Amino acid sequence: MATTSPPSYEEALAEATRLLAQPLTVDEKIEFAKAAMKVLEDDEQVEQFEKDIENVGIAAIQIDQAFDRVNRGFKDMVDNRGRDFPELAGYKREWEGYKERWVRYLWNSRDVASEMSAILKRYDQVFLDLIENIKTDKDREDIIQELAQFSGEKHGTAAQMAINFRNLEMDVRHFGERFEAYLEQKKVELDVLATSLKANIDTLQGQITSWNEKACFQSY
């Protein structure tokens, strides 16, 4: 049996504004409040949400492990061939910088989770309660104004986090392209170790792309 996906933040907010723009009966106000909370009472939807969070966490672990594999690969190359190819040390340092950025962004993403939790709690505890207790046209007009201000707020932490991860994805991709060009120039002299390392970089770049799609940091 097909299930209906829960509304997005924007859809829920638009529906609230639309309903508040017209006179509501007591029953309609109650039904709206119930519908807004339905997704949190649906065990299947809550379970799916938990699975989505778990999948993002697993992806983060896999990316972290991939960064370490590439780090070890560069260390082996520098140790074994660094004297003949001093440029490898520069690539290694650059890669370590990407690894540090990944760890920092992942750590800071906790702030995004806290911010989004506060936004949802505010909508739940404040606006739904106000909607359920509308008694006059003035009440309705006041809530419309409050919702308009709420929807216009900018939450910079989430927006910046999305930019950070996308920039890291782009930088890793460009790094892989430059390293591939370097290997092409040195292909007669460098061995299979370098080719394997490039394959690991390509895999990691794909994992970061997938992470960005799964994490889906929103800019409200």
Residues 6 or more apart whose CB falls under 8 angstroms from that of 128 comprise 33, 36, 37
Does 90 reside within a domain? Answer: yes
Task: Output the pTM of the full model.
Answer: 0.57
* 8 Å CB contact between 77 and 194: yes
Asked if residue 24 has pLDDT above 70, the reply is no
What is the tens place of the pLDDT at every residue in 37-86?
555 455 565 565 556 555 666 777 788 888 888 888 888 888 988 888 89
Residue with tokens 């007669």: 188
Does 4 reside within a domain? Answer: no
Find the Cα–Cα–Cα–Cα dihedral 29, 151, 123, 145, rounded to 10°.
Answer: -50
What is the tens place of the pLDDT at every residue in 119-153?
666 665 566 666 666 666 776 766 666 666 655 55
How far apart (Å, rounded) are the C-alpha atoms in residues 94 and 97? 5
Q: What is the pLDDT of residue 64?
A: 82
Number of domains into which the chain is organized:
1
Does 71 reside within a domain? Answer: yes
Give the residue, 103 or 20, on which the prediction is more confident: 103
Which structural domain, as residue segments, surrounds residue 120?
A: 9-215
Does 86 reside within a domain? Answer: yes
Does 32 reside within a domain? Answer: yes
Does 44 reside within a domain? Answer: yes
Q: Beta-carbon neighbour count of residue 60 at 10 Å?
A: 17
Does 1 reside within a domain? Answer: no
